[in-house]
Structure formats: structure tokens, C-alpha cells
Amino acid sequence: MERHCVLVATFLLMLHIVHAQDQIGFISVDCGLAPRESPYNEAKTGLTYTSDDGLVNVGKPGRIAKEFEPLADKPTLTLRYFPEGVRNCYNLNVTSDTNYLIKATFVYGNYDGLNVGPNFDLYFGPNLWTTVSSNDTIKEIIHVTKTNSLQVCLIKTGISIPFINVLELRPMKKNMYVTQGESLNYLFRVYISNSSTRIRFPDDVYDRKWYPYFDNSWTQVTTTLDVNTSLTYELPQSVMAKAATPIKANDTLNITWTVEPPTTKFYSYMHFAELQTLRANDAREFNVTMNGIYTYGPYSPKPLKTETIYDKIPEQCDGGACLLQVVKTLKSTLPPLLNAIEAFTVIDFPQMETNGDDVDAIKNVQDTYGISRISWQGDPCVPKLFLWDGLNCNNSDNSTSPIITSLDLSSSGLTGSITQAIQNLTNLQELDLSDNNLTGEIPDFLGDIKSLLVINLSGNNLSGSVPPSLLQKKGMKLNVEGNPHLLCTADSCVKKGEDGHKKKSVIVPVVASIASIAVLIGALVLFFILRKKKSPKVEGPPPSYMQASDGRSPRSSEPAIVTKNRRFTYSQVAIMTNNFQRILGKGGFGMVYHGFVNGTEQVAVKILSHSSSQGYKEFKAEVELLLRVHHKNLVGLVGYCDEGENMALIYEYMANGDLKEHMSGTRNRFTLNWGTRLKIVVESAQGLEYLHNGCKPPMVHRDVKTTNILLNEHFQAKLADFGLSRSFPIEGETHVSTVVAGTPGYLDPEYYKTNWLTEKSDVYSFGIVLLELITNRPVIDKSREKPHIAEWVGVMLTKGDINSIMDPNLNEDYDSGSVWKAVELAMSCLNPSSARRPTMSQVVIELNECIASENSRGGASRDMDSKSSIEVSLTFDTELSPTAR
Ligand SMILES: *[C@@H]1O[C@H](CO)[C@@H](O)[C@H](O)[C@H]1NC(C)=O
Ligand SMILES: *[C@@H]1O[C@H](CO)[C@@H](O)[C@H](O)[C@H]1NC(C)=O
Ligand SMILES: *[C@@H]1O[C@H](CO)[C@@H](O)[C@H](O)[C@H]1NC(C)=O
Ligand SMILES: *[C@@H]1O[C@H](CO)[C@@H](O)[C@H](O)[C@H]1NC(C)=O
Ligand SMILES: *[C@@H]1O[C@H](CO)[C@@H](O)[C@H](O)[C@H]1NC(C)=O
Ligand SMILES: *[C@@H]1O[C@H](CO)[C@@H](O)[C@H](O)[C@H]1NC(C)=O
Ligand SMILES: *[C@@H]1O[C@H](CO)[C@@H](O)[C@H](O)[C@H]1NC(C)=O
Ligand SMILES: *[C@@H]1O[C@H](CO)[C@@H](O)[C@H](O)[C@H]1NC(C)=O
Ligand SMILES: *[C@@H]1O[C@H](CO)[C@@H](O)[C@H](O)[C@H]1NC(C)=O
């Protein structure tokens, strides 16, 4: 009796030691567990589970419903679900180059009370692992890690909110489950037993879960003796101590399964040990076949010693139906036998992870600045769909790791200095840290990143001077404006000057102009005749135009995003924007955030600021009206939110930002060429024309300007912020009297005087936009002799100074006839008398002529250029001069 007790005690002690040792390297995460309850030892397995605190910084803890609790293991009781964002990732520290068994458990258990089963994707780093679509499932893979971090991502693919209950990693030896380099996706793992006992840790030191399997044409063979299992696969004693043989000695032992799709490749691992004591003349020998085809043998299992027979290369089954048979050979006196079998499908992870150094560096940047954007999880570059906000990557060559090429952290509330961590983003080409609160000096290392040629540090609090390494770098585009404490060294001033206009040779055109002064007067006369003739014709829009203005005409189109329910609750808006994570900008009326509707369609969500919300009485009526306005050149309204103080407008997302950014070069370094500018301007004009003529009642935009012309991913221009004018005061860059609204510089002087708003006020503003595209100069520049752009252009034209008004970035690469027609049109739009301004219909026609002229560009002579230039300048001088305000 005493001996027995001692024995038990020793046994328990040993077991305890074994447990403690065996959990080395185990990662056992009970997702959603409160940190204060962590860690705990699970009663059945003795495994130590910890909370997922620190492995994921988003998501919410949940718990399965009471009625499911009795059936569930403790670690599955709690879970974490992810209502926000599309991709959410667990980030795990692992040992690199290690063979891991990785398990993720999903038990729905009606945790949300909605009683709708799950459906979402599970990703392994940047690669799809599997889809989770059943209420209670364990996903398992065996994978050799390449780096010391590993990401498991849950991806929302529809309305189903992703969740996870348990995440477990078990390091195994490298010589187990050897493949040709592929990872293994669990198909089944059974041991041959007529019981119903499942086996896992601590019986299985790697915590593999063994399910019993039996067929009624078999007999169970068992042993009470020790089976030597401490070899490569370290199988549990309880697994190997059982086996089966067919009841009929001559029968084959059959195992069948199917794979989907039928071409799926898989590996099988069969474990054998002879459990019976064979008599002298007995022999057990068999072959293994797959769908009747010999694969291994003849083989005799070793007495009480485990051996594993596995596929060296992956197999496939005809039609996806697999029949594995263990077939007695002629020599054998005993039936075939099998103890356990596992099978895995091959899982392909073709997408390479982002360059490890880049990942470390960007995470370092993230930590330094405490950036908590919802998209900044998982792999930074891939899959492309989940590229981190503000990053761009080079991912074109799928045989090398993606690299980070651009980092945009503008307007991200960054404080402190420019972090050293950026130094390790060695493939960076563009860096935008503008509009933050960064202090300290501009570090030297920015000049050391070879490919880095575009740096925007404007709008910060940087001090010191610009490092020479940056100033001297060839091709460098550096913007340091708006850093009041930054010393303007001689060098940096020179640099700034270069971004302004280079003095072009003014002399040649002027000489040319004088030379052709005679031709000029004739042309002038001709011009007036033409104008007079043209006027009556363009009084009303031509027929083709009327049709085009119709709401159902081919020109107008449905917005890209069509949703049935257009009224959203404020909480839906919060979800849509991921709690207002990503700011796109600040528009009239309020902040604009990036968001998603229907899971993946991008939208821009404008939150109407509280301060201005008192006057929004007509909000709903006006929005309902706007929802019916569809035109391909108007930014479509997708929906709205109207919950008391909380009001929001949801617009289609315009990937390429606003025109002003493109003109000023803050968006990218490309100069919009003349043809593109014309295309943008005619599209904007069409949008405006539609508001004036295609809508009933007609709408006046009231705030036409370059920041309200947005560009989509195809560079198609659309007007934003229209139609709210009637019940909304407009917040301009500077405050304007509440009676007269609009943006200074763009404001119709007649409206200013009379306070009487007409479509022609939009025409005036449009004229300013046109001049901006021609000149690329600020609308108001106090340092100019004539601060207002219209006056300035007017003066320049009277001087006959042609080149000096054109945007120098165009490098004189344009059809001058087209340019001068545009200048003339702009000036006519700016006529102080609204009655003498063209209608938007006329503007569209004229602009189309500019485009035609630019498109037919060929051998226009210099002589013609100067002629038309003076024609315009004189025209302007005599009748179109805007009055100063
Ligand atoms: C992972 O490793 C990093 C650096 O090695 C460390 O800072 C971090 O705390 C680790 N995370 C966890 C959850 O252990
Ligand atoms: C999963 O749960 C949902 C909701 O409880 C139920 O409607 C569905 O039938 C379940 N599916 C399975 C396969 O049990
Ligand atoms: C399992 O097989 C053994 C040996 O054949 C037999 O004694 C036992 O009754 C079987 N158990 C069940 C549940 O069928
Ligand atoms: C099994 O096969 C052998 C050889 O084919 C035959 O001699 C023997 O009678 C068979 N036994 C049974 C039980 O069918
Ligand atoms: C095993 O498979 C073979 C071939 O399909 C079949 O003839 C035989 O009846 C099967 N045996 C059992 C026990 O199902
Ligand atoms: C088993 O395999 C050996 C070697 O390929 C072969 O000679 C023998 O015929 C096979 N026996 C059976 C029963 O398939
Ligand atoms: C890589 O790209 C090539 C050509 O685009 C393609 O044929 C190949 O399948 C791709 N490889 C992987 C692993 O995706
Ligand atoms: C940059 O990378 C190197 C090597 O990977 C590392 O030693 C260094 O600490 C990193 N520097 C910063 C500032 O993170
Ligand atoms: C920058 O920091 C100063 C002082 O900490 C603060 O007053 C100011 O509001 C900050 N500006 C921005 C844009 O965050």
C-alpha cells in the first residue's frame, strides 16, 4: 500500500517536471482573456495560457454564450473580435528557422447574440491560409519560420466580424514532417482506436490532437507494454499502443478521404509499431498502395518500436478521392496493421513578406511616434489591398521581397524629432513629414538614403539649418516651408528660388511682338469681328449641349458606389472610418476622413463641425436633393448621417486628391502637362455646367477653387463641396463675413458688391482656376505688384510679356494657340460685369476648342504665337480688365 502511494507520488512529480520542460517555446494564447486573469494553467492539459494583451492592439474581448460553455474548453470561452478595420493581425515573437505547429481555434458560440455563423479569411502573414466558415473549428499548419516574427491576420471579407478564441504555437524538431519546402495544412490526424478518447498534451509532447478512428471490418490490437516512441516523431504512448488489423486475414486495410479541389497535393505520415508477439513462423509484411498504385513496401513493423512511413514528394489522387491500402504480401502469414496516420495538404505561400530590414525600420518609426493607424498591422506592403496607409512599396518583382519606397506621415500629429529609424528605410524615394509638430534639426542621414529625392518637411517646427548633404544632392526636391525657426542659409534660399520660376528669355518674344505689330492690328480687327459674330450664336447652349445637360444623358453617370441605404447612423460612420483614424484633409464645413462602406469600397467621410451645425436646418432636405445629383464630374454623395448634432456626408473617394496639391507639387513631383490641365479644366467645367443647367432647381456652387477640384484614380476631375451653399456658411481659409461667403481671391466682385448670387459668380471663380492652371501662381500674393492674379495677368499681358505668365514647369511644351485661347477665356470669365461673362456652356465649348488645338499641335510658327498673344493682351486691355477690390 505504501509502495503504491510512493509510486503514484513519484509518477505525478515526474509528470509535473515533464510538463514544465515540455512547454518550452510554447505560445498558448487565450484570446480576449482579461490581463488580470493571465496566466493560468488549464486543468485538463496543464498548459499555461496567457492573455493576448500586447500581441494585438485592436479588437474587443468577447465571451461565448452561456449555453455553449459546458461543451467548451476553458481557453475557448473568451475570444477577441474585430469590428474595426479589414485586416487585423496578431504579431508573435518566434524563433526563426524553426518548424512550428500553429493552431488557431474558432468557436463562435453565439458570442455576439446574433446567431449568425462566421465567414472570414485567415491569413498567414501576407498569404491566404484558409477561410473560417464553421461554428467550431481548429485551423492548423506546420511551417518553418523564416524570420523571428510571425503574423496571423483575420480579414473581413463580408459582413461577418472576424474573431478568434485561441492561438497556439508549438516548436518542433526540424526533422519532423519534412517536406520539399512547402508548408503543411492539416487534413486529418487519427489513431486507430475503437474508444472515443482524444489525445493531446501532455500525452503528446507537441500538443498534436489525435482523434480516434475505427472501422467495423477491423479488430483492435492493443498492448500494455511500452512502445518505444521516443524517436523522431515522439508519438504518444497511448497512440502507438493501439492498432488495427482487418478481421478477414486476407483483406486489405483501407483508409479513404477526399481532397478539394481534386488536384490538391498532400503528404501522408503513417505510424507503425508491431504490438503482437509473433510466433517463430509468423510473418507480418505488407505493401502500401494509393488508389491501387504501389507506393511503399514490402514492410514489416518493428516490435514495440515506432517507425513512420511518409511521402517524400507530395501525392495527388485521381478526382480527389483517395484510397490508401495496406496490403498483405504473399509471404505474410498475418494481416496488415496500422497504428496511426496523419495527412496534410500542401499550402502555398507565394507572396514574399516585405524586406525584413524595412519592416523593422517602419515598426521602429511606428513605435517612436506611437502611430496607431488601423491599417498599420500585418505586413506593411502586401497583400497590396492591405498596404499600410501612407506607404508605397515596390512589389513588381515577385521573386524578391517587397520594399518600402515612400512614406507619407503628413498631418499625423507627430512630435519630437525626425527619428533615426527612418535611416534604415534604405529604399525610400519619397518622404513626407509635412504638417506635423516635429522639432529639432533636419538630420544629415536623410542625405545618405541614396534613392530619397523627394522630401517634404513643410509645416513643422524644425530648427537649425538645412544640412548641406541635402542641398547638394542632385535631383533633390526639398520642401521646408513653414518652419519658422529654420535658418534660411544662403544655400537653402538659392534652392527655394529654383522652385520658383526661372527667368526665361523674355527678349525674343518681345522683339518678335514688335516685329509683327503690323500684322497685329489687322488681327485685332478680325478678332472683334469674330467675337461680334459669335456672340448671338452662343446666347443659349447649342442643341447637343442641351441634351448633354439632361440628367439621363450619357454624360452623366451613376456614382461608383451605389448603396441602398444612404442614411447611416453615427456609430456606422464611426465603424466606417475606423473611429476617424485616417484624415484625408479639411474641407469646407469640416474634417474629411477615409472610410470603407460594404467592406471594401473606399469613401471620404466629411464630418460637419459642431460649431457650424446650428444653421443646418435644411440639412436633410438639401442632402436628399444632392443624393439625386449624379454627374461624372461631380463627386458623388454616397450617403449621409443626420443624428442630432452629428452630421456627416459620405462621398465617393477620390484617390488622387485635389488639383491644388498637384499644381503645387506637394502631391508628387510630376508636372501636369498642358493637355492634362485642359482635360481637368474641361471636366470641371462640365460638372459646373451640369449644376447650372442640368439640375432643377439650378445650383450655384459658390466655392469653385482648385482645392475643390478632386481627381480620382484615373485622374478624372470632379467638383466637390457643391450644393450645400444654401443652408451652410462656407469656411474659407480666412474668415469672411457671414453675409458674403466664398474663398478670398475666387470671389466674384459683383457678388461682393451686390450680395446677389448667380451662376455667373461660379463663372468668375472658374476663371481664376483657369488662370491658376495657366500660370501656377498663387491667387493672392502680397509680394506682387498686383497681388490678385487677375490683375497681375492683366498687367503682364498689356506689357506683352507672354512667357512670364506661363507656368515655367510647362517648359513651353504646349500649343500656344491653345494657351492663348485659354487665357482669353479666363479673362472673359473674369469680366467685372457678370452679364458679359460667358455661360459655363460656352466655357465648355471654348475649352474643347483649346483641347482640339492642343491635340492637333504640330508646326505652329513663332510668328503666329506672338500675333495671337498680342491680340489677347490688347483685347483684355480694352474691355476685360477686372476692377481692383
Ligand atoms: C517581441 O520582441 C520584441 C523585440 O525583440 C520585444 O520588444 C517585444 O516585447 C516582444 N513581444 C512579446 C509579446 O514578447
Ligand atoms: C452555426 O451557427 C449558426 C448560428 O447559431 C447556425 O445558424 C448554423 O446552422 C450553425 N452552423 C453549423 C454548421 O452548425
Ligand atoms: C474495443 O476493442 C476491444 C478489443 O477488440 C474490445 O474488447 C472492446 O470491447 C472494444 N470497445 C468498444 C467500445 O467497442
Ligand atoms: C488467403 O489467401 C491465401 C492465398 O491466396 C489462401 O490460401 C487462403 O485460403 C486465404 N484465406 C482466407 C481466409 O480467405
Ligand atoms: C478495401 O478496398 C478494396 C478496393 O476498393 C475493396 O475491394 C475492399 O472491399 C475494401 N475493404 C474494406 C474492408 O472495405
Ligand atoms: C509488394 O511490393 C513488392 C515490391 O514492389 C512486389 O514485388 C509485390 O508483388 C507487392 N505485393 C503485393 C501483394 O502487392
Ligand atoms: C511571379 O510572376 C511571374 C510573372 O508575372 C509568374 O509567372 C509567376 O507565377 C509568379 N510567381 C509567383 C510565386 O507568384
Ligand atoms: C538600423 O539597422 C541596423 C542593422 O539592422 C541596426 O543595428 C540599427 O540599430 C538600426 N538603426 C536604427 C536607428 O534603428
Ligand atoms: C504643436 O505643439 C504645440 C506645443 O506643444 C501645441 O501648442 C500645438 O497645438 C501643436 N500643434 C499641432 C498642429 O499639433
Q: Whose CA is nearest to atom 12 of ligand 8?
A: 421
- Condensed to tens digits (0 to 9), the pLDDT of residues 152-200 reads 999 999 889 999 999 999 999 999 999 988 999 999 999 999 999 999 9
CATH classification at residue 342: 2.60.120
Nearest of 817, 871, 877, 827 to residue 849 by alpha carbon: 817
CATH classification at residue 697: 1.10.510.10
- Condensed to tens digits (0 to 9), the pLDDT of residues 449-484 reads 999 999 999 999 999 888 888 888 888 888 988 888
Please report the pLDDT score of residue 26 as a whole number: 96
Average pLDDT in the 608-619 region?
57
110 lies in the same domain as 218? no
- Condensed to tens digits (0 to 9), the pLDDT of residues 7-61 reads 333 333 334 434 444 789 999 999 999 999 999 999 999 999 999 999 998 999 9
Residue where a domain stops, chosen among 327, 347, 367 = 347
326 lies in the same domain as 374? no
Taking the model in full, what pTM does it have?
0.60
Burial 228-240 (b: 16+ CB within 10 A, else e): ebeeebbbbbbbb
In the reported structure, the alpha carbon of residue 283 is separated from the centroid of ligand 6 by a whole-number distance in angstroms of 15
Model confidence band, residue 616 (pLDDT cutoffs 50, 70, 90): low
**14 in any annotated domain:** no
At residue 513, does pLDDT exceed 60? no
At residue 62, does pLDDT exceed 70? yes
**291 in any annotated domain:** yes
Number of other residues whose CB lies within 10 A of the CB of residue 502? 10
The cell numbers describing 842, all together, are 460656352
**530 in any annotated domain:** no
Residue where a domain stops, chosen among 597, 629, 652 = 652
Pocket test of ligand 3: the residue of 196, 218, 220 to mutate, having most ligand atoms within 8 Å of its CB, is 220
Number of other residues whose CB lies within 10 A of the CB of residue 542? 13
CATH classification at residue 115: 2.60.120.430
Burial of residue 688 (CB within 10 Å: 0-12, 13-18, 19+) is buried
**749 in any annotated domain:** yes
Please report the pLDDT score of residue 589 as a whole number: 67
At residue 354, does pLDDT exceed 90? yes
At residue 266, does pLDDT exceed 90? yes
Q: Which residue in this structure is represented by grid cell 497511448?
A: 238
Average pLDDT in the 539-546 region?
30
Please report the pLDDT score of residue 872 as a whole number: 28
Average pLDDT in the 253-268 region?
94
243 lies in the same domain as 293? yes
**501 in any annotated domain:** no
Please report the pLDDT score of residue 802 as a whole number: 67
Q: What is the mean pLDDT of the chain?
A: 81
Average pLDDT in the 663-685 region?
85
At residue 488, does pLDDT exceed 60? no
Please report the pLDDT score of residue 492 as a whole number: 41
Please report the pLDDT score of residue 772 as a whole number: 92
The CA-atom distances, in angstroms, between 618 and each of 476, 622, 702 are 50, 6, 17
Please report the pLDDT score of residue 856 as a whole number: 83
Please report the pLDDT score of residue 588 as a whole number: 61
Total domains, the chain: 5
Model confidence band, residue 584 (pLDDT cutoffs 50, 70, 90): confident
CATH classification at residue 460: 3.80.10.10
Please report the pLDDT score of residue 621 as a whole number: 63
143 lies in the same domain as 227? no
Active site residues: 703
Helix (H) or strand (E) holding 584: strand 583-587
719 lies in the same domain as 840? yes
Q: Which residues sit opposite 510 in a β-bridge?
A: none
Q: Whose CA is nearest to atom 5 of ligand 9?
A: 437
140 lies in the same domain as 261? no
Please identify, by atom number, the ligand 5 atom nearest to the C-alpha of residue 248: 13
Model confidence band, residue 497 (pLDDT cutoffs 50, 70, 90): very low
Please report the pLDDT score of residue 663 as a whole number: 85
Q: Are 643 and 651 in contact (CB under 8 A)?
A: no
Please report the pLDDT score of residue 877 as a whole number: 29
Least confident stretch, 9-18, 280-289, 605-614, 704-713 = 9-18
311 lies in the same domain as 409? no
Q: Are 480 and 435 in contact (CB under 8 A)?
A: no
Least confident stretch, 409-423, 462-476, 521-535, 555-569 = 521-535
Q: Are 692 and 727 in contact (CB under 8 A)?
A: no
In the reported structure, the alpha carbon of residue 606 is separated from the centroid of ligand 2 by a whole-number distance in angstroms of 39
443 lies in the same domain as 368? yes
At residue 291, does pLDDT exceed 90? yes
Q: Are 692 and 762 in contact (CB under 8 A)?
A: yes
249 lines ligand 4 (CB under 6 A): yes
Pocket test of ligand 6: the residue of 253, 286, 294 to mutate, having most ligand atoms within 8 Å of its CB, is 294
192 lies in the same domain as 280? yes
At residue 490, does pLDDT exceed 70? no
**552 in any annotated domain:** no
398 lines ligand 7 (CB under 6 A): yes
Please report the pLDDT score of residue 186 as a whole number: 96
**284 in any annotated domain:** yes
Give backbone dihedrals phi and psi of 751, rounded to 5 degrees, phi first: -60, -40
Average pLDDT in the 824-837 region?
90
In the reported structure, the alpha carbon of residue 93 is separated from the centroid of ligand 1 by a whole-number distance in angstroms of 6
Question: Domain containing 114: what range?
Answer: 24-172
The cell numbers describing 66, all together, are 452561456
Please report the pLDDT score of residue 619 as a whole number: 67
Please report the pLDDT score of residue 742 as a whole number: 66
Average pLDDT in the 815-826 region?
88
Which has more confidence, 75 or 2? 75
**1 in any annotated domain:** no
At residue 623, does pLDDT exceed 50? yes
Q: 3-state class of 101 per DSSP?
A: strand
815 lies in the same domain as 671? yes
228 lies in the same domain as 164? no
CATH classification at residue 578: 3.30.200.20
Please report the pLDDT score of residue 648 as a whole number: 85
Model confidence band, residue 299 (pLDDT cutoffs 50, 70, 90): very high
Please report the pLDDT score of residue 526 as a whole number: 40
Please report the pLDDT score of residue 560 as a whole number: 32
86 lies in the same domain as 102? yes
Residue where a domain stops, chosen among 486, 514, 549 = 486
In the reported structure, the alpha carbon of residue 143 is separated from the centroid of ligand 7 by a whole-number distance in angstroms of 22
